[in-house]
Amino acid sequence: MDERHCDVLVIGSGAGGLATAVTARKHGLSVIVIEKESVYGGTTAFSGGVLWVPGNRHGKANNPSDSRAAARAYMQAETGNWFDAAAVDAYLDAGPAMLDWFERETAVKFVPTLYPDYHPTVEGGVDVGRSVLAAPFDTSVLGGNLKRLRPPLSTITFMGMMFNSSNADIKHFFSATRSLVSFSYVMKRLIAHAGEVVRHGRGVQVTSGNALAARLAKSCFDLGIDILTDTPALKLIREGGRIVGVETGGATPGRIMATKGVVLACGGYANDLVRRASVYAHLKAGGAQYSPVPEGNTGDGIRLGEEVGGAFDAEFPQPAAWMPVSRVPGQGIFPHLLDRYKPGMIAVLSDGRRFTNESESYHDVGAAMIASGEASAWLICDSRTIRKYGLGHAKPAPMPRWLWTRTGYLKTGRTLANLADACGIDRRGLEATVEAFNRGARQGRDEQFHRGETSFNRYLADPDHKPNPTVAPIEKGPYYAVRMEMGDLGTFDGLKTTVPGEVLDRQNRVIPGLFAVGNDRASIMGGNYPGAGITLGPAMTFGWITGRYLAGIAPGATGEKAA
């Protein structure tokens, strides 16, 4: 048994935890990070690596007319009855400063995106300027710590190679068989990636959330912060009413004592099977859930907080950030991030009916799946569409489709009736739906759900497809389908906290020495999903606020002061 001492102990190694750790250390505090899994990076390493930060300097270059007042109005409209004025104001004030601080003081860097808000027609919504993306990163600079970086989600890579979340280079892979420029680009990427695998055992040129996790970890290592993997937190230590440390197990059994505070950053409860079964409406109704987040996200931080009196309530109308997923035999969970937006695809229920605008955000489509009563749907297309864009995990031409049809992942039929039979969909319902959809689609219209009428609908579609980049008829057999089921990107409900992250008990009293960040802290989004990066943006912003607070800097203070 060992006993270690520090000023700040962070439990969890995702963006919220590492942002807190780096901030506290840069302000003069000693910090230890523990992680129960053998790899660091948390859900962040699986994510798109996008942060929603209204007013950031990158976004201002693309949309100088955006304002704090507009962002606040948008947040109020999106969160409704769960609008927390104090927390939202702190977020809007601190977010741009946080971004500048990390880019100035650490290895963390961002690039602008052209993402619209997910509901740009809502009051205060914008068509561009609030989301940024972690800059690509060469992880070979992590040296011996590279092997402990969580790899990206395998189902969204191509032979282990990553793409940018902004969709910038995916177009070349879609066009490799039709464009010499794209073919050359793809071959160069593949050759470079093969060389990385030979030298390092994995691809080292990473993007998206893997780049963000790696950049934050590099910042920790540069500052001498230990990230102790294989080290679960077993129990919080309380003395005189204050949390002063934690008992640990695994590779580092013993106690870690923290004089300033213990920070819960364990990623929420997406894989806490008992808790989510009591919260998710579709699970209570007998449905299923297949979360692509790390299996270790089992609600440890919330459980530790509750054991010392912390208040947790499942109160948001949507308790998690929903993501339609499909199960790929032998490979895992595939999140449907891009295919739904492409022209020539629609989603239907078992009766063959469409139920939503397929080009809305993953969260909105997931919520519609739950509201349908089935919590699952079939994403269908014709042969022209699958050849051009792929479908789910099935890749576009020239990849052979039998790789996915033989496992049953991809269903196919010579006619729509044949496809319906293969999927268990009502024949007449599917044929009538496609016939009705095609009438408008031939002129680029979605007469039922108005797909493609917002900037966000169009953002991840095909700009080269006219007149509507999201709509094309489904009329050339054979036809194909993939079953989408319910998944999530993480949970919204969390421990109650003050603005600087102090955990509150049932009487709204601060539990001294205990803090929560990231998904262990109740989301300021109120169970809604306003834009790309509304999880990582608050995670890093409030991590920065909490780290400064631990060093004696009050929320809203503009100066820097070492502890």
Give me the pLDDT at residue 176, please. Answer: 64
Q: Is the same domain home to 132 and 233?
A: yes
Structure tokens at 85: 């004025």
Residue 156's pLDDT is: 65
Query: Do the Cβ atoms of 549 and 514 come closer than 8 Å?
Result: no
Dihedral (CA of 158, 161, 536, 273) sign: positive
> What is the model's pLDDT at position 401?
94
Q: Tell me, yes or no, whether 340 and 297 share the same domain.
A: no
pLDDT band at 158 (very low <50, low <70, confident <90, very high): low
DSSP one-letter code for 117: B
**105 in the same domain as 238:** yes
Q: Are residues 477 and 526 in the same domain?
A: no
Range of the domain at 435: 321-488
Average pLDDT over residues 480-493: 97
d(C-alpha 88, C-alpha 546), whole Å: 15
Residues 329 and 381 placed together within one structural domain of the fold: yes
Secondary structure of 445-508 as H, E, C letters: CCCCCCCCCCHHHHHCCCCCCCCCCCCCCCCCCCEEEEEEEEEEEEECCCECECCCCEEEECCC
Co-location of 354 and 475 in the same domain: yes
- Identify the CATH number of the domain in which residue 23 sits: 3.50.50.60
**Residues 501-538: pLDDT tens digits?**
999 999 999 999 999 999 999 999 999 999 999 999 99
306-348 pLDDT tens trace? 999 999 999 999 999 999 999 999 999 999 999 999 999 999 9
Q: Does residue 303 share a domain with residue 227?
A: yes
185 assigned to some structural domain: no
Q: Are residues 380 and 417 in the same domain?
A: yes
Residue 424 forms part of a structural domain:
yes
Structure token digits, residue 491: 């949970």
Write the pLDDT tens digit of every residue in 105-117: 999 999 999 999 9
Compute the chain's Rg from CA coordinates. 23
CATH of the domain at 417: 3.90.700.10
Pair 12, 42: CB distance under 8 Å: yes
In terms of domains, do 241 and 362 share one?
no
Q: Are the beta carbons of 297 and 289 closer than 8 angstroms?
A: no
Examine residue 181 and state whether it is found in any structural domain, yes or no. no
Confidence class for position 167, pLDDT limits 50, 70, 90: low
pLDDT at 557: 72
Specify the pLDDT at position 416.
98
Ramachandran category for residue 327: left, alpha or beta (phi over 0 → left; psi -120 to 50 → alpha): beta
Please tell me the predicted confidence (pLDDT) of residue 180.
75
Is the model more confident about 202 or about 130? 130
Render pLDDT for 18-48 as a digit per residue (tens, 0 to 9).
999 999 999 999 999 999 999 999 999 999 9
Tokens of 190: 């593949």
Q: 438-464 pLDDT, tens per residue?
A: 999 999 999 999 999 999 999 999 999
Q: Checking DSSP bridges between strand 376-382 and strand 345-348, what pairing results, if any?
A: antiparallel
Both 415 and 544 in a single domain?
no
Q: What is the average pLDDT across 4-19?
A: 98
- In this prediction, residue 311 carries a pLDDT of 98
pLDDT at residue 1, rounded to an integer: 67
Main-chain phi, psi angles of 199, to 5 degrees: -80, -35
Distance CA 167, CA 172 (A): 10
Residues 331, 402: one domain?
yes
pLDDT of the residue at 204: 82
DSSP string of 137-153? Answer: EEGGGGGGGGGGBPPPP
What are the DSSP E strand ranges found in 39-146? 50-52, 110-112, 131-134, 137-138
- Cα–Cα distance between 411 and 468 in angstroms, integer? 27
pTM summary value:
0.93
> How confident is the model over 244-301, as pLDDT tens digits?
999 999 999 999 999 999 999 999 999 999 999 999 999 999 999 999 999 999 999 9
Buried-exposed string 440-461: b where 16+ CB fall within 10 A, e elsewhere: bbeebbbebbebbebbbbbbbb
Q: Indicate the number of domains in the chain.
A: 2
Residue 371 CA neighbour count, 13 Å, CB half? 12
Q: Is residue 3 part of a domain?
A: no
Q: What is residue 162's predicted lDDT score, i.e. its pLDDT?
A: 58
pLDDT of residue 114: 93
* Mean predicted lDDT score pLDDT of the chain: 93
Q: How many CB atoms are located within 10 Å of the residue 295 CB?
A: 9
